[in-house]
Amino acid sequence: MESSAYLTELLTAPEVHGIDPANMVVLHAVVGSEFNDTLRDSERFILPLLRDRGVRLVQLSRRGPAESDGIEILDDTRRPRAMHSKGPWTLAQHNAVNGITPQLSDRRCSLQFKGFVLDRFILTAFPDREYRHAIGYNRDLCCEFVTCPLSAYLGRKLRRQRSDAQRSTKAEARSRSMLLRPGRAPTGHHTGSPRKS
């Protein structure tokens, strides 16, 4: 509900938010457990807004249980007529196969069925492009943005990318400094014959 309200606000007054609807892409990660009334209301109220403003709607889901199975693009259009209720691999199937019930404590399902799907599409469809990313949640399903596991996952991912880049830069700097000091082995490396204890 909250994500639909925010989307409606953006589309009702895009100029206030500095958004051109023609450049906007709305992604819907389909987990297969949406309430029928939510799908019906989205078709009745949200899809006409998207159509009227020419906003691209992409509906995605997991293709299978493993990340290597990839994602399925269920629909990709600027004239959406229907909300998809499920894809090839649903959260309910995942839970049944693994003998678990829906998890409300750590939101792993959000990472597997939403975060993974959205990230895979974005990295494939918009490589090396700058974009603004807003993730919508139902207020009852998620806590504050700062502590939300999906946000935490995205934050960890960004920190890891920055950390990897910093380590790479430091390693390159160490390599260059070793080249400038002949005769010295890098710290942690041993030259010559193996040491005996």
Query: Averaged in consecutive runs of 10 residues, what is the pLDDT profile of the chain (197 residues)?
Result: 81 90 92 89 95 96 93 97 94 85 64 84 86 69 41 49 58 49 40 42
Question: Which amino acid is it at 62?
Answer: R
**This prediction's pTM:** 0.68
CA distance 9 to 133: 16
Question: Around Cβ 114, how many Cβ atoms within 10 Å?
Answer: 23
Output the six-digit token pair for 170: 């430091």
Task: Compute the C-alpha angle 22/38/51, nearest 5°.
Answer: 20
